[in-house]
Amino acid sequence: MIVVAALVRALVYATLFIGFFLVFLPARMLDRSGIVAPPGTGPVEIVGIVVAALGALLAVSCILTFAIAGRGTPAPFDPPRRLVAIGPYRYVRNPMYIGAGFALLGAAIYYRSLVLVGYLVAFLVILALFVRWYEEPTLRRMFGKEYESYCANTPGWVPLRRRGAPPSMSGR
């Protein structure tokens, strides 16, 4: 029952976040800049669709992992009760943000929009600052040595390779 409640909360919060930051704001920017959907679907549009879909899939899998393994949500006011180090989080500490970034990049490619590229850059800079100044200190307070071990063994943004043995907290 706890997992179901966390899943419902995570889906509600994620829908609001995704709806606002990844759909509503970019749509307003496109509208204000006069950019409309391309008249046809060529190779560039297909690449954009694929990149956006893969980014969205990654972000959604992160949301589900937070709810199921962490018993919480990605929302700062309803964080996971357990440290999440499985699924996409096994390879990189910020896969949800990476997925959201790829979803925006796909939209920028699809619409051939420098406005969306600018929004993507601002979005990622703000997320990086949020992670650095709020999220990481909060997780250190919540999970202590467990989080320190996770940070020591898992890269933050670029999933190159693990630095050591997998942490023991893999989604207990």
Mean pLDDT per 10-residue section of the chain, whose length is 172 residues: 82 89 95 94 97 96 92 85 94 96 98 97 97 95 96 92 54 42
Q: Is residue 47 part of a domain?
A: yes
Q: Is residue 79 part of a domain?
A: yes
Number of domains in the chain: 1
Q: Is residue 164 part of a domain?
A: no
Question: What pLDDT sits at residue 157?
Answer: 94
Residue range(s) defining the domain that contains residue 44? 2-153
Question: What pLDDT sits at residue 163?
Answer: 58
Q: Is residue 124 part of a domain?
A: yes
SS (H, E, C) the chain: CHHHHHHHHHHHHHHHHHHHHHHHHHHHHHHHCCCCCCCCCCHHHHHHHHHHHHHHHHHHHHHHHHHHHHCCCCCCCCCCCCCCCCHHHHCCCCHHHHHHHHHHHHHHHHHCCHHHHHHHHHHHHHHHHHHHHHHHHHHHHHHHHHHHHHHHHCCCCCCCCCCCCCCCCCCC
Q: Is residue 111 part of a domain?
A: yes
Question: What pLDDT sits at residue 171?
Answer: 46
Q: Is residue 162 part of a domain?
A: no
Question: What pLDDT sits at residue 164?
Answer: 57
Question: What pLDDT sits at residue 170?
Answer: 44
Q: Is residue 122 part of a domain?
A: yes
Q: Is residue 20 part of a domain?
A: yes
